[in-house]
Chains A and B, each alone.
Chain A
Amino acid sequence: MIRTAAHRLLTLAVRGRRDHGGPWGEAILAEFDQTMGMWAALVWTAGGLRVAYREQRASSRTHKKVFALAACVLAAAVAVNQFALTLTYVPSLGMEPTMAVTSRYVTDRVAFRVTGVDRGDIVVLPIPGAPDQSTERRVIGLDGDRIECRDGRVFRDGAPVDEPYLRAGTKTDCDPVTVADGTIYVLGDNRTISADSREWGTFRRDSVQGRIVLLG
């Protein structure tokens, strides 16, 4: 009678509502049959309760750790997604055929501030006259570069720029400029319709909001 009650109590402590408790609780439960008499069974059960309690506390600590780690990873992922690597929407036809209108690209919003932008990079810039909106354009000229267009081709410091990303037969028309220090000269790949530095002038380098890192 008392033995049965003790066994039931120990089972409840080890398993709760589950089919199986922790290995150590189960181990003590399996040994219960070995006890002889009421007293030994009660002593065995008393120790078993302590062990089951200990084991559950340890496992809930592990759960807490896993949960805390998951929360940190999630927070880090959100932070990266919000501030470091974001998806940028392409709102215009100006970068076709490289970037289709309405597509999205992964954009680095932090690292380029350290590494700087280079000629040929595609950067995210605020649209002049609508500064809360942005668009993507390709960097053609940096500090001191002399940009001009001859026979439909872009020349930088007198040498033709190799532009494999343009649609075949594209002709570029522009007014010659020298890019001032601390500014960048940008063009859209879709030269015939793109609004860019030909119309807007150069951009201050610190107005760059991001750099496209993945071109799918």
Chain B
Amino acid sequence: MPRTPHASPQTLRLFEALLKEPATRRYGYDLSRETGLASGTLYPILMRLTEQGLLEAGWEPSDQPGRPPRHTYRLTGDGIALATTRLADAAAKDRRAREAARVRPV
């Protein structure tokens, strides 16, 4: 069975963080703090999503003078649709698992 893309627990955590305020451009470090993902895990996911047009990356001048511009991210329309689907699927699966546990004979 082919693996569902963008359904790993790490990606789902990122989707959750990005969907809170989908219109806001987010910084990589803040996303890392919020999701608890290390940069070596977070950025490869960001790269993959950007390559596939699910995430929109941009540069924003730093608020402090003399600092390099910062990279920002927000979901594209396709990205929002996919993230919503994936999170809903995960929640449904979770519910089924819990129900199965409940009906198991004691």
Contact = CB atoms under 8 A, between A and B. Distances in A.
A50 B40 CA distance: 6
B53 interface: no
Given A23-B71, A24-B47, A26-B71, A47 B27 contact: no
B71 A47 contact: no
Contact of A30 (B42, B57, B71): B71
Interface string A40-57: 000110111111001100
B68 A29 contact: yes
Contacts of A54: 44, 47
B62 to A, nearest CB: 7
Given A23-B71, A35-B29, A47-B38, A30 B62 contact: yes
Nearest to A34: B29
Nearest to A44: B39
Nearest to B64: A33
B44 to A, nearest CB: 6
Chain A residues touching B, range: 20 to 34
Interface in A157-205: none
A28 interface: yes
B60 to A, nearest CB: 10
Contacts of A48: 39-40, 43
A51 B38 CA distance: 11
A21 to B, nearest CB: 11
B67 interface: yes
A27 interface: yes
Given A27-B28, A28-B28, A51 B68 contact: no
A51 B70 contact: no
B85 interface: no
Contacts of B67: 30, 33
Nearest to B71: A27
Contacts of A50: 39-40, 44
B68 to A, nearest CB: 4
A49 to B, nearest CB: 8
27 contacts: A23-B57, A23-B71, A24-B47, A26-B68, A26-B71, A27-B28, A27-B70, A27-B71, A29-B68, A30-B69, A30-B70, A31-B27, A31-B28, A31-B32, A31-B71, A33-B67, A34-B27, A35-B29, A43-B38, A43-B39, A44-B29, A44-B38, A44-B39, A46-B38, A47-B42, A48-B40, A50-B39
